C-alpha cells in the first residue's frame, strides 16, 4: 500500500486525538465491541478520520455525507476488491468483490431472481422453515436463537435460489459455512494477512467439494428456473465461476438474515410491551391463518420493529473499499492505495441524526423516510441484491414466531459479537413460551 499523506497535509482526514483514543480504549475495556470504539473515535474526530495502527491503516467514513460519497459518488475510485484480504481470497470472482462491467454483468444475471414478485412464491417455504424451528422448541426451553435462525435462513436460501432441498442439505453445509465465516471474520489477519489458519483448511476444502458436487449434479441434470441454473448457463463449463457466485450468495445471504431475525427476537424479549403490541397486530391480521405477503402488507407495528433492529445491529456494520485512484470524501483527500472503511454502525447511532440513538424505539420509523441516515443494505452499485428476500423472510418468519410463541429474556443485556456479521454473542439465550 502506498503511504498516506501525513497529518501536516491540511486535506488529509484527521487522526483522532489522544483523548478520543483513550476514550475508545475505555469503551473496549468496559466490554464494548470495536464498533463502539469506532463510535467513540467518531465522536472525537468527526465523520471522516484516519485509523492508524502498526500494520493497519485506513480512513473511516462514519457519517451520511462521507458514506454517500464513498458508496455512490466515488465508485470509480473506491473499489470493492481490498487486496490482500481473506474476503477476496474466499469469494475470488464473486459478485461482492467485483467492480465495473464484470460486476454489472453478474448483477444482470442475478437480478430477476430477487424481484419481489418472483420471490413471493417462496412464502410457504419460509413459513415451513419457521415452523420446523418452532416445533423443535419445548415450552419453557432456553434457546440460542441465532443458531435456530441460521438453520431457518440457510434452508430458505438453498431452496429459493438454488432449488436444493433445505432441510436435508442445511445440516451438512452449516458447519462448513461457519468455517468460511470464521475465515473472513475480523481478527489478527487484518494486521498480518499472511497468518496461517490451519484449523480452517479441512472444512474449507470440504465446502469446495460440496459446492462442486452440486454444480456438477445440476450441470448433468438441469432444473431450470433457479439462479444456480442461470449461472451454469451463463458461464458454460467454468465451474469455478459458478462456485464463486454460489459461495458469495450463501455467505452474504444466510448469516445476515439470521442475525436480523435473532436480534429482532432478542429485542422483543427485552421489550415485552413492544412484543405484545406486535403480537396483537399479527393476531388481528392473521388469527390462526398462515402468514402470507398479502395478509401482512402495510403492517406498520411489525415493520418498525424490523427497521429498528437493523438500525441498532446492522448485520454488515462496516463495508470495505480500497482507493484505486485519489478521491475526496467530504472535502478530505483520500490518496490511491488507502483502505476505506464505511461504518454503517456509526451512521445508525450518530447522535446528530437520531434522538436517543442507543434506545430501541421502533415507532421512530412510523411514516418517516430515513434517507441517508439509515443504510442497512448499503447504497450504490453494490447495494444488497438480496434485500427483497431478506425482507420477505423477516416478515413471514417473525409473524409466524409471534403467532406461535412468546419470547422472554434469559440474559441481562443483549451482547453483540463482531464475527462475519454483527451477531448476538454466543450463549445469548431466550426463553420460549409456546402458544401452539
- CA distance linking residue 106 with residue 234, whole number of Å: 10
Binding mask 6-35 for ligand HEM (x = CB under 6 A): ------------------------------
* The only residue of 123, 176, 249, 341 in contact with ligand HEM, by rule CB under 6 A: 249
DSSP 3-state assignment of 408? strand
Q: Which is nearer to ligand HEM, 305 or 390 (CB)?
A: 390
The distance of closest approach from Cβ of residue 342 to ligand HEM in the complex, given in angstroms and rounded to an integer, is 7
The distance of closest approach from Cβ of residue 109 to ligand HEM in the complex, given in angstroms and rounded to an integer, is 11
Q: Which stretch binds ligand HEM (CB under 6 A): 24-32, 56-64, 121-129, 372-380?
A: 372-380
Our CA dihedral for 274, 276, 279, 283, rounded to 10 degrees, sits at: -140
348 binds ligand HEM (CB under 6 A): no
Nearest one of 27, 215, 234 to 112, comparing CA atoms: 234
The distance of closest approach from Cβ of residue 215 to ligand HEM in the complex, given in angstroms and rounded to an integer, is 17
Q: What single DSSP character describes residue 70?
A: I
The label of the residue with cell 422483543 reads 268
Binding mask 204-243 for ligand HEM (x = CB under 6 A): ----------------------------------------
Binding annotation for heme: 384
Q: DSSP letters along 44-60, please?
A: HH-SEEEEEETTEEEEE
Q: Is 426 exposed, middle or buried (0-12, 13-18, 19+ CB in 10 A)?
A: exposed
Q: Which residues contact 191 (CB under 8 A, 6 or more apart)?
A: 53, 54, 55, 56
389 binds ligand HEM (CB under 6 A): yes
316 binds ligand HEM (CB under 6 A): yes
The distance of closest approach from Cβ of residue 117 to ligand HEM in the complex, given in angstroms and rounded to an integer, is 16
* Beta-sheet pairing, 332-334 with 327-329: antiparallel
Q: Which stretch binds ligand HEM (CB under 6 A): 14-22, 232-240, 385-393, 403-411?
A: 385-393
Q: Which residues contact 304 (CB under 8 A, 6 or more apart)?
A: 362, 363, 364, 365, 366
* Beta-sheet pairing, 422-424 with 429-434: unpaired
424 binds ligand HEM (CB under 6 A): no
378 binds ligand HEM (CB under 6 A): yes
Q: Which stretch binds ligand HEM (CB under 6 A): 119-127, 244-252, 263-271, 406-414?
A: 244-252
- CA distance linking residue 260 with residue 328, whole number of Å: 33
- Cα–Cα distances in Å, from 20 out to 24, 48, 51, 78? 6, 14, 12, 27
Q: Which is nearer to ligand HEM, 161 or 215 (CB)?
A: 161
HEC sequence for 241-304: HHHHHHHHHHHHHHHHHHHHHHHHHHHHHHCHHHHHHHHHHHHHHHCCCCCCHHHHCCCHHHHH
Cell numbers that stand for 279 in this block: 403480537
Strand partners, 303: none
- CA distance linking residue 415 with residue 95, whole number of Å: 31
248 binds ligand HEM (CB under 6 A): yes
* The only residue of 35, 37, 145, 319 in contact with ligand HEM, by rule CB under 6 A: 319
Q: Which is nearer to ligand HEM, 178 or 434 (CB)?
A: 178
Q: Which is nearer to ligand HEM, 169 or 408 (CB)?
A: 169
309 binds ligand HEM (CB under 6 A): no
* The only residue of 164, 177, 385, 422 in contact with ligand HEM, by rule CB under 6 A: 385
419 binds ligand HEM (CB under 6 A): no
Residues 63-102 that bind ligand HEM (CB under 6 A): 80, 95-96
Radius of gyration over every alpha carbon of the chain, rounded to an integer in angstroms: 22
Cell numbers that stand for 226 in this block: 433457479
146 binds ligand HEM (CB under 6 A): no
377 binds ligand HEM (CB under 6 A): yes
107 binds ligand HEM (CB under 6 A): yes
The distance of closest approach from Cβ of residue 154 to ligand HEM in the complex, given in angstroms and rounded to an integer, is 10
The distance of closest approach from Cβ of residue 315 to ligand HEM in the complex, given in angstroms and rounded to an integer, is 4
Residues 151-180 that bind ligand HEM (CB under 6 A): 157
- CA distance linking residue 125 with residue 166, whole number of Å: 9
Binding annotation: 384
The residue ranges that bind ligand HEM (CB under 6 A) are 80, 95-96, 107, 157, 248-249, 252-253, 256-257, 260, 314-316, 319, 376-378, 382, 384-386, 389-390
Amino acid at each position: 500500500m502506498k503511504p498516506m499523506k501525513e497529518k501536516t497535509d491540511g486535506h488529509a482526514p484527521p487522526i483522532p486525538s489522544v483523548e478520543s483514543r483513550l476514550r475508545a480504549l475505555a469503551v473496549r475495556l468496559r466490554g464494548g465491541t470495536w464498533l463502539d470504539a469506532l463510535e467513540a473515535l467518531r465522536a472525537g474526530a468527526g465523520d471522516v478520520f484516519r485509523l492508524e495502527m502498526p500494520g493497519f491503516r485506513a480512513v473511516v467514513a462514519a457519517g451520511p455525507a462521507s458514506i454517500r460519497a464513498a458508496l455512490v459518488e466515488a465508485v470509480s475510485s473506491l473499489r470493492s476488491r481490498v487486496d490482500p484480504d481473506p474476503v477476496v481470497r474466499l469469494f475470488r470472482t464473486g459478485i461482492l468483490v467485483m467492480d465495473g462491467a464484470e460486476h454489472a454483468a453478474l448483477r444482470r444475471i442475478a437480478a430477476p431472481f430477487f424481484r419481489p414478485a418472483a420471490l413471493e412464491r417462496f412464502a410457504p417455504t419460509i413459513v415451513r422453515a419457521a415452523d420446523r424451528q418452532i416445533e423443535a422448541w419445548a415450552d419453557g426451553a432456553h434457546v440460542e436463537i441465532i443458531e435456530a435462525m441460521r438453520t431457518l435462513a440457510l434452508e430458505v436460501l438453498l431452496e429459493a435460489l438454488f432449488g436444493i432441498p433445505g432441510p436435508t442439505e442445511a445440516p451438512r453445509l452449516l458447519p462448513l459455512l461457519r468455517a468460511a465465516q470464521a475465515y473472513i471474520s475480523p481478527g489478527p489477519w487484518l494486521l498480518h494477512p499472511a497468518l496461517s489458519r490451519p484449523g480452517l483448511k479441512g472444512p474449507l476444502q470440504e465446502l469446495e467439494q460440496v459446492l462442486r458436487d452440486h454444480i456438477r449434479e445440476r450441470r448433468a441434470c438441469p432444473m431450470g428456473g433457479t439462479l444456480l441454473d442461470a449461472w451454469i448457463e451463463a458461464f458454460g463449463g467454468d465451474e469455478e465461476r459458478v462456485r464463486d457466485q454460489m459461495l458469495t450468495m450463501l455467505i452474504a445471504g444466510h448469516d445476515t438474515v439470521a442475525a436480523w431475525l435473532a436480534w429482532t427476537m432478542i429485542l422483543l424479549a427485552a421489550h415485552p410491551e413492544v412484543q405484545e403490541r406486535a403480537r396483537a397486530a399479527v393476531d388481528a391480521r392473521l388469527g390462526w391463518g398462515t402468514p402470507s405477503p398479502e395478509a401482512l402488507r402495510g403492517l406498520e407495528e411489525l415493520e418498525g420493529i424490523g427497521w429498528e433492529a437493523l438500525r441498532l445491529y446492522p448485520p454488515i456494520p462496516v463495508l470495505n473499499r480500497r482507493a484505486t485512484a485519489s478521491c475526496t470524501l467530504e472535502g478530505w483527500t483520500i490518496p490511491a492505495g488507502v483502505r476505506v472503511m464505511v461504518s454503517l454502525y456509526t451512521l445508525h447511532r450518530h447522535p446528530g441524526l437520531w434522538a436517543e440513538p442507543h434506545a430501541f424505539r421502533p415507532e421512530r420509523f412510523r411514516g418517516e423516510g430515513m434517507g441517508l441516515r439509515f443504510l442497512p443494505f448499503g447504497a450504490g452499485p453494490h447495494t444488497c441484491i438480496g434485500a427483497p428476500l431478506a425482507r420477505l423472510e423477516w416478515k413471514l418468519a417473525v409473524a409466524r414466531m409471534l403467532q406461535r410463541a412468546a419470547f422472554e429474556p434469559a440474559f441481562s443485556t443483549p451482547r453483540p459479537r463482531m464475527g462475519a456479521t454483527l451477531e448476538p454473542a454466543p450463549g445469548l439465550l431466550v426463553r420460549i413460551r409456546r402458544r401452539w
